[in-house]
Amino acid sequence: MSHLAPTKLSAELPLLFGGDVMLGRGIDQIMASPSDPVLYEDYVRDAREYVRLAERANGPVARDADADYVWGAALGTLADPSRRRILNLETAITTSDTPWPGKGIHYRMQPANIGCLTAIAPDCLVLGNNHVLDWGRTGLIETIETLEAAGIPFVGAGRDRHEAERPAILPGAEGNRLLVFAAGHGDSGIPADWAANESSAGVHYLPDLDETAVDRLGELIDSHRQPGDTVVFSIHWGSNWGYQIPKTQRRFAHALVDEANVDLVHGHSSHHPRAFEVHLDRLILYGCGDLINDYEGIGETTPYRSDLALLYRPTLCRGRLQRLELDPFAIRQLQLQACSPPDRDWLLGVIDRQAQRFGGLVTDTGNTLSYRWSD
């Protein structure tokens, strides 16, 4: 009789993070079941114009595209089940035709195009952002129902406050759990009246980045935490453009680690990658940048290169960062494509300069970009 040795559970937890995933407007228009293209923006009234802008910049874009088209060269990495994959979905998934009043930009994807997301089967989508209620609470509830039907976990918004605040519970390392919490701050453009309450759908809204918020979040996290859990806190905050990290953000992120015992802070809202740092062996991503958008051909985005995207691949061990690799991509023809050498060098230069502000260094290993930091 043979005896098999028990499988040793790894202490390492491989993760993957992306910033804003915008699947509305032009991207929704190239999918198999596009929404009504009407927009309520000041300058563009037809979503198909964003497709035309992309084509003017980089050539023809397929219509009735395959469900996985937009992921392009990133598909293998995004669909890798060996990592827990967490992305910020900055698009309502809805058939609602009633936009939120007084809001200039409204993103939506037709629910029939959910195959775009099931093609990568993310482990968790963050909904606590400034576009998930673009089509009202009806649109948010339809988004939730569509994700539930597709078996995709979500955090940061819900049918009520309890659902908006509760974490996604994912498999972690050594048989333990990974808890993902999410919230959004008003400085990212989230209206205060989007806050979920006991009887109304909305987002997990943070009115302030202060000690009171840290204390409340610490209590919330502790109410769900079990021994051995790893905790990620995902937060939508800050401006769309620029590289400055406000002192309030840095203090808040450090306090989440110091006082709420968060193991990784996943920040997003900026349309381009911002700085990141390691604090007490915990990774803080201040702004992951857009992962996919339809901004090709919009000239004012050029200085910050929102056409260049990063996927962040940290590996943790009992919450502590062991290594961080970053995969660069370019958005061309409304698809993630491999970076050209000049684009790769440009992006490397930018993120290395940002990392150096907090004692880090980013180098090109040939296969990927690698982050080193001071202990």
Q: Helix and strand tally (H, E) in the chain?
A: 9, 21
Instruction: Look at the domain 13-373 and name its fold.
Output: Purple Acid Phosphatase; chain A, domain 2 (3.60.21)
Q: Is 175 left (phi over 0), alpha (psi -120 to 50) or beta?
A: left
Q: Which of 70, 130, 163, 75 is nearest to 153 (CA)?
A: 163
- In the chain, what is the straight-line distance between the N-terminal and C-terminal CA atoms, in Å? 49
How high is the pLDDT of residue 301?
Answer: 59
How high is the pLDDT of residue 1?
Answer: 37
How high is the pLDDT of residue 302?
Answer: 67
How high is the pLDDT of residue 256?
Answer: 98
The enclosing H or E element of 158 equals strand 157-158
Q: Where are the alpha helices (DSSP H) in 79-227?
A: 115-118, 136-150, 161-165, 211-224
Domain boundaries, the chain: 13-373
d(CA 191, CA 363): 39
pLDDT tens by residue, 44-97: 999 999 999 999 999 999 999 999 999 999 999 999 999 999 999 999 999 999
pLDDT tens by residue, 284-298: 999 999 999 999 988
The list of the chain residues with pLDDT below 50 reads 1-7
How high is the pLDDT of residue 257?
Answer: 98
Q: Is 356 left (phi over 0), alpha (psi -120 to 50) or beta?
A: alpha
Dihedral (C-alpha) 39, 43, 44, 49: value to the nearest 10 degrees? -170
